[in-house]
Amino acid sequence: MPIITNIEDLRVLHQKRTPKMFYDYADSGSWTESTYRANESDFQKIKLRQRVAVNMQNRTTKTTMVGQEVAMPVALAPTGLTGMQYPDGEILAAQAAEKFGVPFCLSTMSICSIEDVAERTTKPFWFQLYVMKDRGFIERLIERAKAAKCSALVLTLDLQILGQRHKDIKNGLSAPPKLTIPNIINMMTKPRWCMGMLQTPRRTFRNIVGHATGVGNMSSLSSWTAEQFDPGLNWGDVEWIKKHWDGKLIIKGILDPEDARAAVGSGADAIVVSNHGGRQLDGAMSSIQALPPIVDAVGNDIEVWMDGGIRSGQDVLKAWALGARGTMIGRSFLYGLGAMGGPGVTKCLEIIHKELDLTMAFTGHRDIHNVTNDILVPGTY
């Protein structure tokens, strides 16, 4: 086992151990991937002020996200096909997050179902909702999340239509993978992944198959999903969902202050500044660039979080300094999961927490609640 010291180490190991189509699904963006790259590179442009001769004892990164106590302002973002990065991936990630003390959010497009995760965890997790044209299915999905005692609903608004991701098309992405000759050859080089997949029954979209009308297998699922994402989604639908959910509501996919103000008006409890990991509108602003004007517009009226490009605890602290009161990580924890399963997710969280804690100390703070943009070098953000 190589020595793992940072998120990049996990990414390299993930790429070695996971079939190409699923690694590429996790680690790619739409079209030219310019926004995908900017999410990460724009963090690197922001510089920190080092302080000395300050008391660095008794530090704490603990805070709350929508009223939930968390070990640090980080949640595991909803990611589709997580159970294809590693067998039973959603269950393992949820268990690791629960043990570490950060929230886990399950995607509508997960391989393990809401019920699978609920049966194998002891604390409430969050559920992410995509809005489909079949409103009856959406109502049933919300009721299933309630029955599983999910503590928050994360409504994703930036995937009414699907951005084109060239790698997915070229790889013929599917779950389970199509047994083409290139796929078989590639999977033969990933024996650990293959053995794990043979030992689990969870190899399809278990939130959908058997639950959506007319979807009983993979062939019917593909045609259903192609037709079901709703391009007519609007703020009236958000109001309808809030009434059916009647719990903590987090709106994900906000990049514009005007949309942020509309989210406040919808009665949401938090918003996530996000460009879907650079997987939708290529050429959109990076999440960290979009964050400050949104905080200025609505920061006193609603909790503002962000995701996109976070690869270190330093990135978490920079986002906090610019006004985010929570962050979400997707690729970072997927790298850990694909590399080592549940222990890899734990390793990812340990790395981010240690970097966050040490950077906070180096910038002269012991409590994350006291961190403001005075830790940042003016002109770099």
Q: Which residues contact 263 (CB under 8 A, 6 or more apart)?
A: 251, 254, 271, 298, 302
Strand-strand pairing, 68-70 and 152-156: unpaired
Look-up: residue for tokens 């599983």? 148
The upper half-sphere exposure of residue 45, i.e. CA atoms within 13 Å in the direction of its Cβ, equals: 14
User: Could you tell me how far CA 273 lies from the centroid of its own chain?
Assistant: 12
276 is a catalytic site residue = yes
Sign for the CA dihedral angle at 235, 239, 244, 250 comes to positive
Strand partners, 329: 76
- Token pair of 251, please? 């709106």
Distance CA 348, CA 78 (A): 16
Report the alpha-carbon distance of residue 11 to residue 27 in Å, rounded. Answer: 9
Please list the alpha-helical segments (H only) found in the chain.
Answer: 7-17, 20-26, 34-45, 82-85, 89-100, 114-119, 135-147, 166-171, 181-188, 191-198, 218-228, 235-245, 257-265, 287-298, 313-321, 331-340, 342-362
Identify whether 231 is preceded by a cis peptide bond (ω within 30 of 0): no
Residues 6+ apart with CB under 8 A from 347: 4, 10, 336, 340
Task: Identify whether the C-beta of residue 286 lies closer than 8 Å to the C-beta of residue 308.
Answer: yes
Catalytic residue from among 14, 276, 353, 365:
276
Residues with catalytic function: 276
